[in-house]
Amino acid sequence: MPETTYVFNADGLIMGRLASTVAELLLKAARDDRDDKVIIINSEKAIVSGRPRSVLTTYQAKYKLNHPRKGPFFPRMPDMIMKRTIRGMLPYQKKSSGRRALRNLRVEIGCPSHLESELPEGHESGDDSKIRRALPDRFILLGEISANLGAPTHRWTGGEQ
């Protein structure tokens, strides 16, 4: 059975909905003994719904739990926050299918050059029709959360502050 690489564009999608869809897709593939892969592009443009101040407070509290040597390690970069969110929805410590599913996930900041125009052979666009909704009244971008945590924003703003 040929493996498929699904490409999801996180621009304007709610992070939790995207994460649960991707986790379910990866876990089903791993349990069916397929190596389907998922690439999420533009992770810094994903949105987290809720009041911006309370969302920032929540993420700052998670980050402050961090001890440099002992952990728990909570990331600052938007691609790693997205991957950590998906990891939380997978049984990666208990089952080999969860570890395999996490290995088949790649999250990118921005859009890699080979995925910009049309998708290469073996890649297809992920079905986000069930998770694409109108923007909520109160939300904050994942890139803004990362900037608030002290991540180097030049990676996704192109050097602008």
Q: Where are the beta strands (DSSP E) in 36-147?
A: 37-41, 47-49, 105-107, 123-125, 139-141
HSE, side-chain direction, 13 A CA sphere, residue 104: 28
Question: At 103, which CATH number?
Answer: 3.90.1180.10
Q: Which domain does 144 fall in, by range?
A: 5-157
**Stretch among 51-60, 110-119, 143-152 having the lowest mean pLDDT:** 110-119
Residue that the structure tokens 């703003």 belong to = 157
Query: Which amino acid type is present at position 26?
Result: L
Per-residue pLDDT at 19 exceeds 80 = yes
Helix or strand run (H / E) with residue 6: strand 5-9
Q: Among residues of the chain, what percentage have pLDDT more than 90?
A: 63
Q: State the total domains in the chain.
A: 1
pLDDT digits (tens, 9 = 90+) for 66-125: 888 888 889 999 999 999 999 999 998 999 999 999 999 999 998 888 888 788 888 888
